[in-house]
Amino acid sequence: MTFPYSEQNTQSRRRLETLVRGLSEEDFACSTDYGWTVSALLVHLAFWDYRMSAILRRWQEEGFDPSPIDMMVVNDALKMICHSLAPRAAAELALSAAEKIDRELETLTREQAKKIEEHAATTDTQFRMNRSLHRDGHLNDIEALLK
């Protein structure tokens, strides 16, 4: 099966790779108007991609459950952690996480993908198989900040 979001996920992952490889130390330290540095946003992206990977694995092993989460509270709690990591480590985490979840999503059968989409549509799981939706939003912010 061709995974329905394969192209979008691949494009956003490549965009992330290109951006990360071109960042200077000064770029990593630039801060958004909402208080996140470029480096911290990369850790944020890594966390949410790794979370998707963990949920996917659990769903495949144990079946579906809502996996509810208050994204705002999690982001507030993560902010200090995200700002504490070294910039290059943040970049590598973001790349590693994006590659991992994209690869794992590619292994889904048509039935699994359908079941996940149906489940996500009826619950507040915040599970998005189209990882580009989250990545591209933050990449847009970073690119605008660095212009």
Give the pLDDT band (50/70/90) at residue 137. Answer: very high
Of residues 67 and 24, more confidently modeled: 24
Nearest to 20 by CA among 144, 145, 142: 142
Q: What average pLDDT does the segment 12-17 reach?
A: 98
Nearest one of 88, 54, 91, 80 to 69, comparing CA atoms: 54
Domains of the chain (ranges plus CATH)?
A: 6-146 (1.20.120.450)
- Please, which pLDDT band fits residue 45 given cuts at 50, 70 and 90? very high
How high is the mean pLDDT of the chain?
Answer: 91
- Condensed to tens digits (0 to 9), the pLDDT of residues 80-118 reads 999 999 999 999 999 999 999 999 999 988 888 888 888
CA distance 85 to 28: 11
pLDDT classification of 70: cutoffs 50, 70, 90: confident
